[in-house]
Amino acid sequence: MLVLTTLAGMTAVAGETGVERQMRQRHITLSAENPATTHGVHVAAGTATVLLFDSPVLPASVELGASRERFERIDITERALILLPRMELTPHERIPLTVRFADGHFPNRATFALTTEPGEVDLQVRVFRTALAPEALVEQLGAVQARCEDSGRFSNLLFSRDLGNGIVAEQLNSRVAGDEDSPHFHVADLRAFVAPGLMALAVTLLLAEGQPHWRPGRVEVLDEQTVEQIPVRAADLDVQTLRPGVMGRLVLELRAGPASTAERVRIHVHEQGGSRILKLKGVRLPRPPPGVAH
């Protein structure tokens, strides 16, 4: 579902073509049921377009399919994105723009297409989300397994939002890393995604101020009861590097999880080429849904 609401036609502004443009304020409501929808935003040279988000976004996640020199300003905070084009777009040009949200909820990104319209320009666009309830995800597990096998990695589905309707999501205790164990990191959110044959843990991280950039390397996951190692299929970070003050989401894919919710795991994520270690302890994994074998 996509809801576009034009609030008012405001003061006209003249573009380079001499055609007056009406400056608009709009609402866009994203839908978890159709997360891949691309939403058009009308921009114009010399006019700032402001996108306001109701949920925090990751400033480092902004992807703009155009040369930065084409814009006088590209300013991004957790709640706002300001775009000021330096030159007019061509009539049929569509510049892709993608922004990821920081909390990991779905839809976890917003996709836009910057275009030009002779008669109007978007002065302010407010972006709202409708999160998909976890219980609505518990269907068609076989379809998700096929997607996982086709994509090669479960995190590809999480990062691309192509989750279909068959995945079990569960919020976990995020206060699992004590300051004495991982003083460089703050765990803002921790959740599990379960599909046939594997489990993914999504850890939303914040790196402490003053720390150099961090990237994950070797990962160790141990059953705290048996001290047996649980195979890790992959570790993926949704930003290029984790930087201080900017949240990133780390997805760890496990080929299998403990058979009971009473079991807990200990996770060590070593820095790639460095000595800092993200340590998570006492992570209780959810019980697999009926029909999901380990």
Cβ neighbourhood burial of 228 (10 Å; 0-12, 13-18, 19+): exposed
**Greater model confidence, 222 or 13:** 222
**How much is the pTM?**
0.46
Lowest mean pLDDT among 79-83, 177-181, 210-214: 177-181
Residue-by-residue DSSP string for 41-109: EE-BTTB-EEEEESS-B-GGG-EESS-GGGEEEEEE-SSEEEEEESSPPPTT--EEEEEEBSS-PSS-E
Domain ranges of the chain: 3-130, 138-284
pLDDT at 22: 85
* pLDDT tops 90 at residue 121: yes
* pLDDT tops 80 at residue 210: yes
* pLDDT tops 70 at residue 260: no
Please identify, in words, the CATH class of the domain defined by 138-284: mainly beta
Pairing of β 63-64 and β 20-31: unpaired
Residue closest to 97 by CA, chosen among 71, 131, 121:
71
Percentage above 90 pLDDT, the chain: 22
**Greater model confidence, 256 or 100:** 100
pLDDT at 60: 87
* pLDDT tops 50 at residue 63: yes
Q: Token pair of 236, please?
A: 């993926």
pLDDT at 6: 40
Residue closest to 230 by CA, chosen among 239, 243, 220, 241:
220
* pLDDT tops 70 at residue 280: yes
pLDDT at 33: 67
Mean pLDDT of 24-44: 85
